[in-house]
Each structure stands twice: as C-alpha cells, then as structure tokens.
C-alpha cells in the first residue's frame, strides 16, 4: 500500500471514529498527415503558394476569433491524428521571463472549460519570474547549490552552503508539457516532429537539449524525445494529466534515500524543491525518481527500465546487509499499514496504537519521509478515538511541530483540534 494512500485511509477512518467526541477531521521532418482539420489548407510543414498551411489557417479560422486574450507568442503548429482531433504545439516564449518560456503539446480545443483553456489562464495570470535558471559556471541569483560534474553521473547539483531541513531552495517552471495521451494518438514520426517543434520555439532550446539522455542508441532517437523520456515528470494541470519537463529539477540525480523532495504547484506550473533534511556544503542534492517506500527488488528494475541507469546511490552501493535491512523495514511498513486499518475498522484502538508505534519506528529508522507529521497525527487520532485525550494532545502537538518545521499543509487543522481537546479537558 502506498504511504500516501495509507495515511489518507487512516485519517479518514479515524476522523469518523472520533466524531462522537466532537473531533474535526482535516481536509524532424516527416510525411504530412492524410487530411487536414481546416478546409483549403495544407497540414503540418507542407507549403504551397496558393494555399496557406494549416498552422496559419488555424489562427485565422473564424471559430477561434473569440476575442479572448491568448498567451501564445507563436502560431500554433498542428498535425492531424488517427484519433481525429489535431494535436498542436502552443508556445508562450515569455512565460516566466524572457529566458524561460513554455511549449505545450495538446489537442486542439475551442472549449472554454478544456484543460488547454485553463492552462492559458494560468500562463496569462503568472507573474514574471527572475531569470535564475542554472548555467554551467554561472551563478545568477546566488542559490545554495552549483551545477558540477559528478563521477559516473554526468552533471548534478552540489550544495554550496548549508540548506536547512524544510527550506524551499528552488522553484522551477515547466518548459515542456505534453498531453499524457499524445504518444498513443500520434504516429511516432508525428510525435517526434511535434516535440522537435516544441523545443526549437523556446527562447533557449539548448536548455532542454543539453539535459541527460538515457537511450542506448542516441543516434536513432531524436534528442528532444530522448530528453523528454529521461527527465519528465507526470503532473496534472487544468484537470488533465501531462508529462512535464522542469530543466533545473532535471539536473538533480536520484537517490533511494534522497535529501530533497519535489512538490508540483498546478496553479503556477512549477515545482518547488524542499530540503528533506539538513543538506551540508559539498553534499550532492538528490531526489527520488520513484515512490519512497519501494523495496529494491521493485525500484531498481524500474529505474533501469524508465531512466536507463543502474542505481549507485549510497544505499544501493553500500554493504548488502544494509540494503537488506532497508528492504526489511520497508516490507514491515507495507505489512503494518493494512493491519492498522483493519484494527481501526474493528475499533481496536489500543492494538492499533501499538502497531502504529512500530510503523513510526520503522519509518524513522528508514528515513524515507520528509517529516512524520501525518503519522504523529494518526497516533493522536488513535488516542483520541480510544478516549485518551492527554496522550492525543501530546501526539497532535508533535505532529504540529513537524508540520510547521517542514512548512507543510495542515497546521491550522491541527491547532483547531488541539484547542478543542484542551477545552474539553478543562470542562471535564
């Protein structure tokens, strides 16, 4: 069971279980397509003196003259698909400053409620960011890290001064986004052409093209495709799934026990990076490319298949007995989760408290969570449902310390619960 699913399940169950005591739960150029999506125009890159290209006809089409402001700085480049709906490259070269920009590959839609329409609004409303992207040998905004070559890994980010636990030390913005279904709805040649067009329209294409590649046959795979497959994240924006590329974040290498964590902000199309723990000067900054609680037998083949490398992080390259102990703790977490849920459903809160303490110990020893706030909150709710208000307040206060220390969400809910429980104790 994934940790996020487990904590959500337990918090929901315990919110219900404690309702009777007035608790409040928290919250490349290719052959053109065979047909065109606009009459009397030529698809894709095909050109003729007597007919406009469809990319030009697209913006002159009366159905799109809505009078609404658009963020796009280039004429959208569109190709028909086997699914019938054209896919286009939409580029806003000034998004988040003149050195950034964003290109989005998405289905053509005039629907004001479509995902693309929602993203248009986000781009139009976005403030201009500082031009602080990373360049080798250049430190534009004095960030607490620098891009360096790392043996066996190519490039990576190294801390240049201490980065305290819980501090947000990077905000990066999506440069490329592609509809999650675009590869399935396009021929390979079409997908490659759209990706190539999306990159060359950016103010600094090399910012993308110089990122790491994982193909074992790089001469056979276009750079844009290889980079996207190697470095992209799955995100949701405008109510729809995309794969997105964040160039600065992509400079961070993987570790199975990382020291930083990423968070996606759909409203800003950005990722923030937060220190998982104190990161010391000279230490490589790492993130996890997989879910935190996966055992080595699952995550190592996944890393090889999806990103094309054999993990050499400190955990995987260390003594076999340490890796075995790590797997045992992660297995224990997986086993305890469903047991705790079952005990809560049966109302056996005393037994659930005992198992959750074992869960907290295993998670603390394994160091795979940025903070223990959720699990301390679960403990508080277990004691609350058990009727032990003193112990409940103690664990809720521990959860609040963790949440505030990591600048995570949920502090206001915890404060409300603590206040209510203390008031109840006074009245008793």
> Which residues contact residue 405 at a Cβ distance below 8 angstroms, ignoring those fewer than 6 apart?
165, 166, 371
The 8-class DSSP code of residue 2 comes to -
- Nearest to 225, CA basis, from 45, 92, 377, 105: 105
Q: What is the pLDDT of residues 143-193, one digit of tens each?
A: 999 999 988 888 899 999 999 988 899 999 999 999 998 888 888 889 999
Rounded to an integer, the average pLDDT of 36-58 is 40
- pLDDT of the residue at 2: 54
Q: Does 97 score more than 90 pLDDT?
A: no
Q: What are the residues whose beta carbons fall under 8 Å from the beta carbon of 217, sequence distance 6 or more? A: none
Cα 353 from Cα 63, distance rounded (Å): 62
CB 165 within 8 A of CB 276: yes
> What does the alpha-carbon distance between residue 318 and residue 314 come to, in Å, rounded to a whole number?
6
CA distance 328 to 306: 25
Q: How far apart are CA 99 and CA 110, in angstroms?
A: 29
Task: Quickly list DSSP for 132-177.
Answer: ---BTTB-SS--SEEEEEETTTEEEEEESS-B-TT-EEEEEE-SEE
pLDDT (tens digit per residue) in 206-261: 999 999 888 777 778 899 999 998 898 899 998 899 999 999 999 999 999 999 99
| 180, 186, 192, 197: CA torsion to nearest 10 | -80
> Residue 4's pLDDT band (boundaries 50, 70, 90)?
low
pLDDT-based confidence at 293, cuts 50/70/90? confident
Please give the pLDDT value at position 91: 94
pLDDT band for position 350 (cuts 50, 70, 90): very high
* pLDDT per position as a tens digit, 99-136: 899 999 999 887 878 888 899 988 988 766 554 444 43
Evaluate if residue 329 carries a pLDDT over 90: yes
Reply yes or no on whether the pLDDT at 373 is more than 70. Answer: yes
Asked if pLDDT for residue 54 goes beyond 70, the answer is no
Residue 338 has pLDDT above 60, yes or no: yes
Q: How far is CA 228 from the centre of its chain?
A: 14
17 versus 261: the higher-pLDDT residue is: 261
> What is the CB neighbour count within 10 angstroms for residue 146?
15
Identify whether the C-beta of residue 297 lies closer than 8 Å to the C-beta of residue 323.
Answer: no
Q: What is the pLDDT of residue 354?
A: 95
What's the whole-number average pLDDT of the chain?
81
Report if pTM > 0.85: no
Task: Tell me the CA end-to-end span of the chain in Å, nearest whole number.
Answer: 39
Position 5 scores a pLDDT of 56
């Amino acid at each position: 069971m994934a940790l996020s699913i487990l904590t959500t399940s337990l918090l929901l169950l315990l919110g219900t279980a404690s309702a009777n005591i007035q608790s409040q739960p928290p919250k490349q150029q290719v052959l053109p397509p065979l047909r065109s999506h606009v009459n009397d125009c030529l698809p894709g890159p095909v050109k003729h003196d007597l007919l406009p290209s469809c990319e030009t006809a697209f913006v002159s089409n009366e159905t799109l003259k809505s009078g609404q402001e658009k963020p796009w700085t280039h004429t959208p480049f569109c190709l028909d698909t086997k699914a019938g709906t054209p896919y286009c490259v939409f580029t806003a070269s000034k998004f988040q400053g003149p050195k950034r920009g964003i290109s989005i590959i998405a289905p053509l839609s005039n629907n004001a409620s479509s995902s693309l329409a929602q993203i248009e609004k986000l781009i139009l409303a976005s403030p201009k960011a500082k031009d602080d992207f990373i360049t080798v040998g250049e430190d534009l905004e004095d960030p607490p890290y620098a891009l360096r070559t790392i043996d066996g890994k190519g490039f990576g980010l190294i801390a240049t001064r201490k980065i305290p636990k819980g501090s947000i030390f990077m905000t990066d913005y999506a440069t490329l986004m592609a509809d999650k279904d675009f590869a399935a709805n396009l021929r390979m040649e079409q997908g490659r052409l759209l990706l190539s067009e999306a990159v060359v329209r950016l103010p600094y294409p090399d910012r993308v093209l110089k990122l790491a590649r994982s193909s074992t046959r790089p001469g056979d795979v276009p750079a844009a495709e290889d980079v996207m497959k190697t470095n992209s994240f799955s995100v949701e924006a405008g109510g729809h799934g995309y794969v997105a590329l964040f160039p600065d974040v992509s400079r961070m290498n993987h570790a199975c026990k990382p020291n930083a964590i990423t968070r996606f902000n759909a409203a800003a199309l950005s990722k923030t990076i937060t220190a998982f723990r104190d990161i010391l000067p000279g230490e490589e900054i790492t993130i996890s490319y997989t879910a935190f609680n996966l055992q080595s037998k699952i995550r190592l083949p996944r890393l090889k298949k999806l990103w094309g490398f054999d993990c050499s992080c400190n955990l995987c390259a260390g003594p076999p007995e340490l890796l075995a102990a790590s797997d045992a703790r992660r297995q224990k977490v997986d086993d305890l989760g469903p047991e705790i849920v079952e005990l809560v459903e049966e109302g056996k809160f005393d037994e659930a408290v005992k198992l959750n303490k074992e869960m907290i110990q295993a998670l603390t020893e394994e160091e795979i969570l940025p903070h223990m706030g959720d699990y301390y909150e679960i403990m508080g709710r277990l004691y609350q449902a058990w009727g032990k208000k003193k112990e409940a307040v103690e664990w809720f206060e521990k959860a609040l310390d963790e949440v505030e220390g990591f600048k995570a969400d949920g502090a206001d809910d915890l404060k409300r619960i603590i206040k209510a429980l203390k008031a109840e104790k006074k009245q008793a």
